Amino acid sequence: MQIASVGTAFPPHRYTQTHIAETLVARWGDKLPEPRLLTRLHANCGVDTRYFVLPIERYPELHGFKQTNDEWITAAVELGQTAVERALTPLGLTPADISAIFFASVTGIASPTIDARLINKMPFPTHVKRTPIFGLGCVAGAAGIARASDYLAGHPAEIVLLLSVELCSLTWQDDDQSVANLISCGLFGDGCAAVILAGEEAVLPSPPTRAPAILATRSTFYRHTEHVMGWDIRDTGFRIVLSPDVPRVVLENLRGDVDSFLAEQNLTLADIKSWIFHSGGPKVLEATEKALDLPPEALALSWKSLREVGNLSAASVLCVLEDTLKNHPGEPGSYSILAAMGPAFCLELVLLQW
């Protein structure tokens, strides 16, 4: 099976990190005991610009979870349709060619889910199989690829879609001036990514010039780490849980898990020619580089994505994947690792060969 294409979509409102910080300082006013702390935290997030689903001046008008979630549903459908079309078109495919949809998000809730709403707008088959995924957070992009590949192992003639829409700006909490929320408001952005995966026997009308095959995947759960990352769900919506322990968990676990995963495939770190990592933030990327003894340029695309769009939760690693496919594909026969970590705390690894 192979990853055939990726399409991305972003909202129309793009702001510099400086402008966002200045706006929040003015918006929260007396709620901030030390406004310079917010400015400093935002400056250290490794982010230059981010996209927001609404004009930045409109966010104070949102009150309560229903209003923000309604905005999430409307925008998720619109962005999702655009990303899906951008992923399908280069392959000569239409929605009618898709046999299964995996949908991942952690920034809003809908029932019927966003994938169901897209089926009513786009000509997907009546019998398309749907797997909505909620709660995996940042790891869901990599986990979605892994679960889609599990499906294709049993349906090798089919073509499947993974769609992730993350509108993190709609989770901001006006009554929370904790360091975790200040960092969250400086790190996360809005965006969407769609991935087309094809089984070994699937026929693509316009196959890609170079597409990586999925050789193996591994999921790893770190017990009793639920305090590290996630949501505290309240009447006002999603309140961030973000512990400074995240880099420590990476440093203590990542190398051993990657080594053992590769050993099962008779490979070592030296065999991996490129790394497609979730853009979790500067401390997470630095911990990843240190844990794996990577050279400075190894995670260049992850750092670039972080600078240009911020952390997009589940969609981030898929944006890095798009950049890799379009601009930095591997040499024939070479290996890559696609990976992300997220709430639980947990790790998802995907071994690719070009």
DSSP string, 294-325: --TTTTHHHHHHHHHH-B-GGGHHHHHHHHHH
Q: How far is CA 160 from the centre of its chain?
A: 18
Instruction: Give yes or no for residue 237 having a pLDDT over 90.
Output: no
What is d(CA 256, CA 288) in angstroms, rounded to the nearest whole number? 12
**SS3 string of 178-201?**
CHHHHHHHHHECEEEEEEEEECCC
Point out which residues pair with 212 in neighbouring strands.
Answer: none
The pLDDT assigned to 226 comes to 86
More confident residue, 302 or 244: 302
The pLDDT assigned to 147 comes to 98
The pLDDT assigned to 165 comes to 98
Assigned fold of 2-198: Peroxisomal Thiolase; Chain A, domain 1 (3.40.47)
Catalytic residue among 45, 138, 168, 185: 138
Burial 104-126 (b: 16+ CB within 10 A, else e): bbbbbbbeebbbbbbbeebebee
Q: How far is CA 25 from the centre of its chain?
A: 28
The answer to whether residue 138 is catalytic is yes
DSSP string, 2-53: EEEEEEEE--SEEEEHHHHHHHHHHHHGGG-S-HHHHHHHHHTS--SEEEES
**Residue intervals in the chain for CATH 3.40.47.10:** 2-198, 213-353
Q: Which CATH superfamily is domain 213-353 in?
A: Thiolase/Chalcone synthase (3.40.47.10)
Q: E-assigned strands of 27-150?
A: 49-52, 100-105, 129-134
Residue reference for tokens 């591997």: 330
**Tokens at 109, concatenated:** 């809730």
- State which H helix or E strand residue 107 sits in: none
Q: How confident is the model at residue 31 (pLDDT cuts 50, 70, 90)?
A: confident
**What pairing do the DSSP bridges indicate for beta strands 159-167 and 129-134?**
unpaired
Burial class (CB in 10 A: 0-12, 13-18, 19+), 224: exposed
Mean of pLDDT values over 60-69: 93
Which pLDDT tens digit goes with each residue over 183-203?
999 999 999 999 999 999 999
Residue 58, number of CB atoms within 10 A of its CB: 12
Which pLDDT tens digit goes with each residue over 323-338?
999 999 999 999 999 9
Main-chain dihedrals φ then ψ at residue 78, nearest 5 degrees = -65, -50
Q: How confident is the model at residue 174 (pLDDT cuts 50, 70, 90)?
A: confident
Burial 264-284 (b: 16+ CB within 10 A, else e): eeebeeeebebbbbbbbbbbb
What is d(CA 261, CA 209) in angstroms, rounded to the nearest whole number? 28
The pLDDT assigned to 228 comes to 85
Q: How confident is the model at residue 294 (pLDDT cuts 50, 70, 90)?
A: very high
Mean of pLDDT values over 209-233: 92
Mean of pLDDT values over 222-243: 87
Report percent pLDDT > 70 for the chain.
100
Mean of pLDDT values over 160-185: 93
Which pLDDT tens digit goes with each residue over 85-130?
999 999 999 999 999 999 999 999 999 999 999 999 999 999 999 9
User: How many residues appear in the chain?
Assistant: 354
Instruction: Give yes or no for residue 152 having a pLDDT over 90.
Output: yes
Residue reference for tokens 């402008």: 19
pTM, to two decimals: 0.96
Cβ contacts of 94 within 8 Å, gap of 6 or more: 88, 123
More confident residue, 276 or 246: 276
What is d(CA 314, CA 14) in angstroms, rounded to the nearest whole number? 20
